[in-house]
Amino acid sequence: MSTATIASRSYAACASTPVAFLGLGVMGYPMAGHLAAAGHQVTVYNRTAAKAEAWTEEFPGGSHAATPREAVKGARMVFSCVGNDDDLRSIVLGDDGAFAGMEPGAIFVDHTTASAQVARELYAEARKRGLHFIDAPVSGGQAGAVNGQLTVMCGGDQDVFDQVAPVADAFSRAFTYMGACGNGQLTKMVNQICVASVVQGLSEAIAFGLRADLDVEKVLDVIGKGAAQSWQMDNRGKTMAVGKFDFGFAVDWMRKDLGLVLAEAQRNGARLPVTALVDQFYADVQAMGGNRWDTSSLIQRLR
Ligand SMILES: NC(=O)c1ccc[n+]([C@@H]2O[C@H](COP(=O)([O-])OP(=O)(O)OC[C@H]3O[C@@H](n4cnc5c(N)ncnc54)[C@H](OP(=O)(O)O)[C@@H]3O)[C@@H](O)[C@H]2O)c1
């Protein structure tokens, strides 16, 4: 990410706040960058220290620490974005974890796509320690993170959410309260159910168009102005047609998310036959070597 991209975003006025950011991956790195560019005092932690060093070189006002516990010292808010439930537990709990170093009243805001259960578990643990926890998964992909235009769905206590919202505005287009702890993750699951079936439908449509020898780019331009239009069609249709997948949201992440969805559906009794099928189709893509391909690579099974 270039500092120029970050600098092109304008920020609402908000008092400079001491914050920490844990996890500088594809999403976390630019999100932490927006917090720094908005004038907050940011300390970062990343398991692979080289990324934290690169981040502080790019954002010289910020600093980095060797453990989550050290990074959160003095922070009013701690943001995180790591891979899954286990990764999240490993940066939050334990002697070197964030909760061990946070001061009473501080707020932990987790942007990982994780289970509603781990959110509730960490919310309860935070309360025991006089801390606060908000589950806040994001949608908008790498481009949304780089442009500071993420859609963020939050669960937890409303008064705590209200304190975080002006700060999180630095990387959000919409930062929305969805109710009790876990509801952010449940909302993200609804999002992923929608995405799975839309991408499969789009894959079948484009594979059909290619076999029919149509000019698929032209087809997408035409039907993209009608009832078939979708974000996936607008942003992925043309790259699907030419078989380009070396960017975007990885198939491995999608399978992790659909695993969370299907486990939650077992608990709440929702029937998700199409989602379960698409999950298996993504397993086929992994077997083809597509673990890090964008989720639109679902079409590769049909070529
Ligand atoms: N990429 C997207 O388009 C997108 C969109 C929406 C939501 N998400 C969600 O956002 C989350 C992060 O995605 P990403 O694309 O940023 O992933 P990523 O690039 O793979 O980054 C993962 C980050 O988590 C850290 N991490 C993983 N396991 C850890 C552990 N056990 N202890 C400490 N740190 C650990 C990694 O540290 P290292 O650098 O040391 O590996 C890295 O900083 C995921 O839950 C994903 O589903 C991603």
Mean pLDDT for the stretch of residues 22-37: 97
- Looking at the structure, do residues 44 and 193 belong to the same domain, yes or no? no
> Last residue of a domain, which of 152, 180, 208?
180
* Size of the chain, expressed as the number of residues it contains: 303
Burial of 161 (0-12, 13-18, 19+ CB in 10 A): buried
Q: Does 122 lie in the same domain as 71?
A: yes
Residue from 19, 17, 87, 28 nearest 54 by CA: 28
Q: Looking at the structure, do residues 106 and 250 belong to the same domain, yes or no? A: no
Q: What's the N-to-C CA distance of the chain in angstroms?
A: 34
Closest to 25 (Cα-Cα) out of 50, 58, 57, 5: 50
| pLDDT band per the 50, 70, 90 thresholds, residue 54 | very high
pLDDT of res. 3: 52
Q: Are residues 98 and 227 in the same domain?
A: no
Q: Are 153 and 176 in contact (CB under 8 A)?
A: yes
Phi, psi of 125 (to 5 degrees): -65, -40
Give mean pLDDT, residues 264-281: 98
Other C-beta atoms lying within 10 Å of the C-beta of residue 232: 18
Q: What's the pLDDT tens digit per position in 210-240? A: 999 999 999 999 999 999 999 999 999 999 9
Same domain, yes or no: 236 and 95: no
Residues 93 and 154 in one domain: yes
Residue list, ligand 1 pocket, CB within 6 Å: 23-28, 46-48, 51, 81-83, 87, 90-91, 112-113, 138-139, 141-142, 249, 253
Q: Which residues are catalytic?
A: 188
Q: Are 87 and 35 members of one domain?
A: yes
Residue 103 has pLDDT above 60, yes or no: yes
Q: Which of 180, 197, 213 is the last residue of a domain?
A: 180
Residues 237 and 144 in one domain: no
Q: At 214, which CATH number?
A: 1.10.1040.10
Identify the band that residue 202 occupies on the pLDDT scale cut at 50, 70 and 90. Answer: very high
Give the number of domains in the chain: 2
Residues 253 and 132 in one domain: no
Place of tokens 């709990």: 93
- For the chain, what is the mean pLDDT? 96
Please write the tens of the pLDDT for every residue from 146-194.
999 999 999 999 999 999 999 999 999 999 999 999 999 999 999 999 9
Atom of ligand 1 nearest to the CA of 141: 3
Q: How many CA atoms lie within 13 A of 83 on its CB side?
A: 10
Residue 141 C-alpha to ligand 1 middle, in angstroms? 12
Confidence of residue 10 (pLDDT cuts 50, 70, 90): confident
Q: What percent of the chain has pLDDT over 90?
A: 94
Q: Last residue of a domain, which of 164, 180, 196? A: 180
Q: How confident is the model at residue 7 (pLDDT cuts 50, 70, 90)?
A: low
Does residue 16 share a domain with residue 143?
Answer: yes
Mean pLDDT throughout 30-47?
98
Structure-block tokens of residue 108: 């932990």
The partner residues of 45 in beta bridges, in order of sequence, read 22
Question: Atom 28 of ligand 1 has which residue's CA nearest to it?
Answer: 87
Q: What is the CATH number of the domain that holds 28?
A: 3.40.50.720
From the alpha carbon of 257, which atom of ligand 1 is closest?
47
Q: Are residues 117 and 12 in the same domain?
A: yes
Range of the domain at 221: 186-302
Residue 60 in this model has a pLDDT that exceeds 80: yes
82 and 202 part of one domain: no
pTM: 0.95
What pairing do the DSSP bridges indicate for beta strands 172-177 and 107-110? unpaired
